[in-house]
Amino acid sequence: MTKLFAVTLLSSALSFSIHNSYAQEAVKPRISPLAIVTMKYENNYVKVTYNQPHKRAREIFGELVKYGEVWRTGANEATEITLTGDLIIEQDTLTSGTYSLFTIPNEKEWTIIFNKQLGQWGAYNYHEPSDVLRITVPTESIKDVVYEPFTISFEQKNEIANMWLMWDRTKVAVPIRFLD
């Protein structure tokens, strides 16, 4: 009976140790943390969910993020944007819903892509026929490194807004207008 108790106790301790080790591993913070940014106009809102990679002394655009290639617009899972109402993006209507947000960075301009495939890891399974809307916007250069983490933000005045994508010494504005 004592041997059975000792074996059971040892087995339980080992199981707890393995479970505890796994639990600690599961709650480690990500190197590229989750970020959410929102904006609202009247009864409509926009929410962007993304992960923030950091510069960490790396050359970003043209090296880490290759020019001319589809990028997940952040780290880890593909960035997603949710709209509760239709928006005008540049000149085109983007209907309410949730989309993956991809970009194709280049030195002077970026292609911004709204894609209907959700739940993607990175851009590895990016599927161009699932694009709902594409626009091209110019880049703006910043003299000094301003954005250590990749950052998405909104600048809004009433129904007109810009969604800013900013990292390192580069930023781009995606023009947005809420529909009435």
**pLDDT tens per residue, range 11-44:** 444 444 444 444 455 667 778 889 999 999 999 9
Is the pTM of the predicted complex or chain greater than 0.75? yes
Comparing CA positions, the residue from 107, 11, 102, 118 lying closest to residue 59 is 107
Query: Which residue type, as a one-letter code, is found at position 121?
Result: W
- List the beta bridge partners of residue 148: none
Mapped onto helix, strand or coil, the DSSP state of residue 124 is coil
Q: Give pLDDT tens digits for 98-152.
A: 999 999 999 999 999 999 999 999 889 999 999 999 999 999 998 887 779 999 9
Phi and psi at residue 84, to the nearest 5°: -90, -10
Comparing CA positions, the residue from 153, 170, 171 lying closest to residue 162 is 153
pLDDT of residue 31: 85
